Structure 1
């Protein structure tokens, strides 16, 4: 088992490493990192470890900033003196949250929890905990798009996008405020970058945000009519062959 430690206090990192080696003698600790920047550099250039022990307040910021740059696909045990970050830790692959000062028994329980999770997913889903985390991380999708309009570059957050559609020959982003921006990527490329949980490809022309759906009506010939909170240039219709899949997508929330 390869374990890395992200902790800005050298003494605390050394003490944690000693405890890890005592409880799991076969483990390796290939890196002890003291900052967000160092962690990003290491994780970007090395194979993902099996487990990370991570402090939250580091020398150059909060460790949650690491996840904004690197897709972490292994379990994380957070070790911190602060209790107010528990919810953020859960969102960031956290499988345990140890409050400092923690004991050997606390660390032992954390190892057992990680191993129990791993065994469960191997036995019940044919995959492992890292596979599940990887799928969740990937499905988060792209967070923003850089667009150019009126001689300015503008960043459009993904959660501000109501739908994307083909206008003439190029895709255009339409926000909930009705703002429209042309992008250079194809609609297929954009779809591959977005969360399939959040965005649905209605047809060859439209990709819609779940949050933009206002209501869905039955239409002629067993089709569905999708009405969004933001006006669209044409009616959004789903053929009968795709209605079941679309309704399932709406249901899975």
Structure 2
């Protein structure tokens, strides 16, 4: 299967490519694009594409703006940090919708889905969108956790999600750091579990492997070393909170939504 990748974050692009290359299967990256301009050039080229992995927020605008004005003959798996474009994605040959940060298992499932559809000789551009829309609506209507059971020493208590400035991980343990009290306590979830299942993505964002912040506690941002960003929080953190370089663009888009 010949795959084109449209992604403006070099680290994310390389991660997707590495996942594909590690499979030793019939998956092959035949083209990449990092902007809408390059996407348009790719669509007008004679490159054979069986599947496109496409980010939605690119540095020069939404990829939808290019896709809507071109005839697309192949399926698209959208890879993005936002769930709000899920329904619109079905206007652009969407067969799957993956939220960042990308989990390898989730990406491989998307490949398997496309292979299964192809094996049934289905016209992937005419897939029943209603079924997929219902799936996305179910995701969007998900109830996120309003409070967390925490432990501090021998004490166990509840902390409301709205009272948490940020979550962080240290030596395999996940902590919550509260806004008003600046109390630190332990919870029995990993950051990945919090991000994928329990936190409202419109309010919480994973800025690095070890930190998830709440938007309401963010005061300002400033450039930091090597293309990263430092965050100023209303609740003074124990250590500097830095946005990882491969998350900066997605973070800016999240802030600006």
| TM-score, L = length of structure 1 | 0.47
| TM-score, L = length of structure 2 | 0.47
Q: Which structure has the larger Rg?
A: 1
Larger RCO, structure (CA 8 Å, separation 6 or more): 2
